[in-house]
């Protein structure tokens, strides 16, 4: 599902404690919530790693990936979203779910990553705006600034025409798939 100019949309939580809940999504230029079909595949891949995982959602947008992870008992999530309206909607949706183990930062993802962190994340969702050339820098900052736990899982969703990115040498692709104009893959840090 996409959100087109002049319309609002929604995301659906597929499974877990908030199964079948629908949450509103703001009309933001370039926002493309991950489709239910892709989300189902991704969370089948991630199922063994979710329980107790700490998640980082970069370019959070609709928050659909984080909400799904939290619904399936991830221990917490940090959602970073640059657009003020989208970030406000993420906070509203977390309140609607009575979710107190997630934090929304209304900031630019790359600026946040640049600062580094003392908190490491087990699962990272990277779904940057298309055609903005953000993927490689994002991945290298995650690795060089200490954001990842030892065997972190990294989900990447990009436009299918994007050439193969240069990612950190210690990341290994576990699964990859394409759906329409989207390529998505699960990587693991070793």
Global pTM value:
0.93
Q: Enumerate residues 6+ apart whose C-beta is below 8 A from 20.
A: 12, 13, 14
Block means of pLDDT (10 residues each) for the chain, length 190 residues?
52 96 86 87 97 97 96 97 96 97 98 96 96 95 97 96 90 95 95
Dihedral in degrees, nearest 10, Cα atoms 120, 151, 39, 109: 30
The pLDDT assigned to 31 comes to 77
- Spell out the domain ranges in the chain: 9-189
pLDDT at 32: 76
Query: What class has domain 9-189?
Result: alpha beta
H or E element at residue 92: helix 84-96
pLDDT of residue 9: 87
């Amino acid at each position: 599902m996409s959100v087109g100019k002049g319309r609002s949309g929604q995301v659906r939580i597929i499974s877990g404690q908030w199964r079948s809940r629908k949450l509103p999504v703001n009309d933001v230029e370039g926002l493309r919530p991950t489709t239910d079909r892709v989300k189902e595949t991704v969370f089948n891949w991630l199922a063994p790693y979710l329980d107790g995982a700490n998640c980082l959602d970069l370019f959070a947008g609709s928050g659909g990936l984080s909400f799904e992870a939290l619904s399936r008992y991830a221990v917490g999530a940090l959602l970073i979203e640059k657009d003020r309206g989208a970030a406000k909607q993420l906070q509203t949706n977390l309140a609607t779910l009575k979710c107190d183990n997630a934090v929304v930062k209304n900031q630019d993802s790359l600026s946040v990553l640049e600062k580094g962190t003392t908190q490491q994340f087990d699962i990272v969702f990277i779904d940057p705006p298309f055609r903005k050339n953000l993927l490689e820098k994002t991945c290298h900052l995650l690795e060089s600034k200490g954001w990842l736990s030892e065997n972190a899982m990294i989900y990447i969703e990009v436009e299918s025409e994007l050439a193969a990115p240069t990612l950190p040498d210690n990341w290994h692709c576990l699964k990859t798939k394409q759906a329409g104009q989207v390529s998505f893959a699960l990587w693991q840090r070793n």
